[in-house]
């Protein structure tokens, strides 16, 4: 029997845009369903403004190797929730346990959002993130649970799943907690060197997948030179305000001793030098900056440095404070 027919009303009550897909209330898999948490996934399909939910049919009907439905809701490119099932769905498999979610049958324990983006060279849109935060906060409130019951599939999977990619799950839980306490949540966005339309660099920047510390499939590199030839990361900053800038790079003894990161702030460019020989393979904060609203090149890695070694450009994350 379906256990969450209230999902439609709860999501709409949270201000989330919702579409119901057919007889979603009576579409479910046999077996127990007593959810205590919410699990985030990505579909591995490439969505766009012109094709906002390419994985919808698969999430409803399943794949040759896995019977549908494959989630309770799919979140499309525009942040619209497509309700697929009010009962048990094949989205989580076995859970190894994460935070307060115990080991066991993940399909019984968690409600699943499939966020429609590919997770390789595409991150979730701001609309998807914000809608998923609002929906997760509303559902956990309905379940009587706190934000620690929001998890990512990579945290519970027993088979090495990586979803949802390009998202800090601790930041996600903090944003859910803020939403549950009446706040607006926190906007965060990541641009990788492979993010379509968001990264630009001249032909002087090579491409490498040498280091396992890379973010995504590869990263860019260039020799230092006394000339302006930056690699730029473009962000659609939603509102003017204070933002933390985090950078990700692969570290190596042969990489630059003082790689210049340029942040285009509300008060002009500011430069922070980073020793890329150490501290790689993780997000590293280079500071908090006042940024204007708008879609523009916001952070660069410059080749113009007195440091020695290859300059690396990999990924940048902005988080509104």
Q: What percent of the chain has pLDDT over 70?
A: 98
Number of domains in the chain: 2
Assess whether 177 and 234 both reside in one domain.
no
Residue pLDDT, tens place only, 101-123: 999 999 999 999 999 999 998 98
Tokens of 174: 């903090």
Residue 1 is assigned to a structural domain of this protein = no
Q: Which region among 21-35, 227-241, 306-320 has the lowest average model confidence (pLDDT)?
A: 227-241
pLDDT tens track for 258-307: 999 999 999 999 999 999 999 999 889 999 999 998 889 999 999 999 99
Q: pLDDT per residue over 34-69, tens digit each?
A: 999 999 999 999 999 999 999 999 999 999 999 999
Indicate if 135 and 209 belong to the same structural domain.
no
Whether residues 39 and 105 fall in one domain: yes
CA distance 8 to 19: 9
Q: Which residue has the higher pLDDT, 199 or 282?
A: 199
CB neighbour burial string for 12-49, b if at least 16 within 10 angstroms, e if fewer: eebebebeebeebbebbbeeebebbbbbbbbbbbbbee
What confidence score (pLDDT) does residue 186 get?
A: 64
With a pLDDT cut of 90, the percent of the chain lying above it is 81
Domain-terminating residue out of 138, 157, 181? 181
**What pLDDT score was predicted for residue 80?**
95
Residue 220 lies in a domain: yes
- What is the CATH number for 35? 3.40.80.10
Q: What are the phi and psi torsion angles at 154 (to 5°)?
A: -65, -20
Q: Which domain holds residue 13?
A: 6-181
CATH number for the domain that contains residue 291: 2.60.120.260
164 assigned to some structural domain = yes
How far are the Cα atoms of 113, 167, 206, 263 from residue 197, in angstroms, in the given order? Answer: 26, 19, 18, 19
User: Is pLDDT of 185 > 60?
Assistant: no
Residues 196, 155, single domain; the answer is no
Sorting pLDDT into bands at 50, 70 and 90, what band is 184? low
Is there a single domain that holds both residue 210 and residue 120?
A: no
Q: List pLDDT tens digits, range 122-131.
A: 988 888 998 9
221/286 same-domain check: yes
Contact 167, 123 (CB under 8 A): yes
Judge if 107 and 232 occupy the same domain: no
In a domain, 279, yes or no: yes
């Amino acid at each position: 029997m379906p256990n969450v027919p209230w999902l439609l009303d709860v999501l709409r009550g949270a201000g989330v845009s919702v579409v119901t897909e057919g007889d979603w209330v009576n579409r479910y898999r046999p077996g127990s369903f007593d959810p205590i948490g919410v699990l985030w996934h990505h579909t591995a399909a490439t969505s766009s403004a012109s094709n906002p939910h390419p994985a919808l049919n698969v999430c409803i009907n399943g794949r040759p190797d896995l019977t549908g439905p494959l989630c309770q809701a799919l979140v499309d490119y525009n942040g619209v929730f497509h309700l697929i099932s009010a009962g048990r769905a094949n989205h989580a498999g076995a859970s190894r346990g994460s935070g307060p979610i115990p080991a066991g049958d993940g399909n019984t324990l968690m409600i699943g959002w499939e966020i429609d983006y590919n997770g390789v060279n595409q991150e979730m849109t701001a609309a998807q993130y914000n809608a998923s935060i609002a929906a997760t906060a509303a559902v956990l409130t309905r379940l009587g649970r706190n934000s620690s019951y929001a998890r990512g599939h990579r945290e519970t999977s027993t088979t090495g799943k990586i979803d949802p990619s390009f998202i800090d799950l601790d930041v996600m839980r903090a944003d859910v907690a803020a939403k549950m306490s009446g706040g607006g949540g926190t906007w965060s966005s990541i641009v990788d060197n492979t993010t379509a339309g968001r990264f630009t660099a001249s032909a002087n920047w090579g491409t490498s997948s040498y280091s396992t510390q890379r973010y995504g499939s590869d990263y860019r590199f260039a020799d230092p030179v006394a000339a302006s030839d930056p690699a730029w990361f473009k962000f659609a900053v939603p509102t003017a305000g204070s933002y933390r800038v985090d950078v990700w790079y692969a570290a190596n003894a042969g990489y630059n001793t003082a790689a210049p990161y340029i942040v285009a702030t509300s008060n002009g460019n500011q430069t922070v030098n980073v020793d890329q020989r150490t501290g790689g393979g993780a997000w590293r904060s280079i500071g908090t900056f006042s940024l204007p609203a708008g879609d523009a090149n916001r952070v660069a890695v410059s080749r113009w440095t007195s440091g020695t070694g290859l300059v690396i450009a990999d990924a940048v994350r902005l988080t509104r404070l």
